[in-house]
């Protein structure tokens, strides 16, 4: 198990640096991130109008809110949601509960396809990735399925950390372009974007540490 995770993490880190294939797989984390925004909007009484998943791994979620707190929680939820699921998937792997990881990923893909994602590339990604995922499950090769799920979990964990680092960096060099950090800065009015950027990165590292501890018992 430990060897599988080490290999999965290394492959995820290397693959996500590749220009086309790497970005294609990295969108898995983007989908979970944007789903976090959407679910929080619904929980706080708002609405989800659409999600766009883009070829450069960026994503946008257009939501409507009835309160300031709903807007605030929706803005803060994306990075935290992705980081949490990176940890959760490693927890399930450590417990040998691979089937729950399968159910969760299928649920994400299905909900996004049916209700939220409407841009052409986003639909293309969900359909092709979903087909790949279903083909994997139908193969019946348990060892192959296990290795693939470890890789997907590693991919989400690696991307949750690297994307949080990127938003932290952007929040320092170009605060108004820092996505969720910029939105939170505007929402609060007194906490600058770099503070939110650092917060996103720190929580990503925290969940990554928890995830690694699940497997390596550190």
What digits encode the pLDDT tens for the residues 55-98? 999 999 999 998 999 999 999 999 999 999 999 999 999 999 99
Does the pLDDT of residue 43 top 80, yes or no? yes
Report the pLDDT averaged over residues 153-171.
97
Does the pLDDT of residue 200 top 80, yes or no? yes
Rounded distance between C-alpha atoms, residue 60 and residue 117, angstroms: 10
pTM confidence score: 0.95
Rounded distance between C-alpha atoms, residue 114 and residue 36, angstroms: 16
Does the pLDDT of residue 218 top 70, yes or no? no
DSSP conformation letters of 90-123? HHHHHTT-HHHHHHHHHHHHHHIIIIIB-SHHHH
In the chain, what are the domain boundaries? 2-216
């Amino acid at each position: 198990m430990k060897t599988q995770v080490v290999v999965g993490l290394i492959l995820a880190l290397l693959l996500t640096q590749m220009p086309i294939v790497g970005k294609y797989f990295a969108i898995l984390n983007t989908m979970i991130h944007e789903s976090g925004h959407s679910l929080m909007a619904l929980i706080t009484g708002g609405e989800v109008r659409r999600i766009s998943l883009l070829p450069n791994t960026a994503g946008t979620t257009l939501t409507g809110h009835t309160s300031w707190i709903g807007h605030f929680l929706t803005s803060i939820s994306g990075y935290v949601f992705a980081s949490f699921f990176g940890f959760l998937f490693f927890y399930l792997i450590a417990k040998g509960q691979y089937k729950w990881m399968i159910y969760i990923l299928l649920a994400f893909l299905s909900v996004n396809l049916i209700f939220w994602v409407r841009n052409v590339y986003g639909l293309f990604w969900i359909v092709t990735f979903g087909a790949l995922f279903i083909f994997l499950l139908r193969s019946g090769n348990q060892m192959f399925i296990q290795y693939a799920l470890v890789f997907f979990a590693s991919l989400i964990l690696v991307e949750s950390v690297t994307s949080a680092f990127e938003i932290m960096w952007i929040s320092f060099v170009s605060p108004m372009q820092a996505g969720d950090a910029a939105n939170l800065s505007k929402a609060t009015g007194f906490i600058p974007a770099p503070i939110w950027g650092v917060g996103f990165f720190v929580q990503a590292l925290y969940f990554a540490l928890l995830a690694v501890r699940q497997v390596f018992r550190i």
